[in-house]
Amino acid sequence: MSEEKKSEAVTLTKEQIYEALKDVYDPEIPVSIVDLGLVYDVTIVDDWVGVKMTLTAPGCGLSGMIANMVRQRLTQLSGIHDADVRIVWQPQWNPSMMSEEAKKKLGWGN
């Protein structure tokens, strides 16, 4: 099946990648990593996607699990053969990076 996926001529946009990543939730917070503001950048090269992201806290013991969830979700997309996730700490995440929807869901809105 991976050969099939590799040969497909599918052009995905960053917007489609971000939309797919809305299916990935922080295991400790019932909000997607996109709505939390954890995804900083997406790079698409042919059938490969690179994601630069952070976590809510540098000491988070779930970094490997979250990175694997991101990789799994991306490789489920038609036309994506491989994905890499880079966890960065700059800029440091803070609650202002969350979407309004996430703030409301967590009770942080006005």
Q: Average pLDDT across each block of 10 residues of the chain; the chain has 110 residues. List them in order.
A: 47 94 93 97 96 92 94 95 96 94 84
Residue 22 lies in a domain: yes
Task: Give the integer Cα–Cα distance in Å for 81 and 90.
Answer: 28
Given the structure tokens 């917007």, which residue do they identify?
15
Q: What is the pLDDT of residue 64?
A: 93
Residue 98 lies in a domain: no
Q: Domain holding 83: CATH number?
A: 3.30.300.130
* Structural domain count of the chain: 1
Residue 104 lies in a domain: no
Q: What is the pLDDT of residue 28?
A: 87
What pTM did the predictor assign? 0.86
Contact 36, 68 (CB under 8 A): no
Residue 81 lies in a domain: yes
Q: What is the domain extent for residue 14?
A: 2-90
Q: What is the pLDDT of residue 78?
A: 92
In sequence order, the 6+-apart residues with CB closer than 8 A to the CB of 30 are: 105
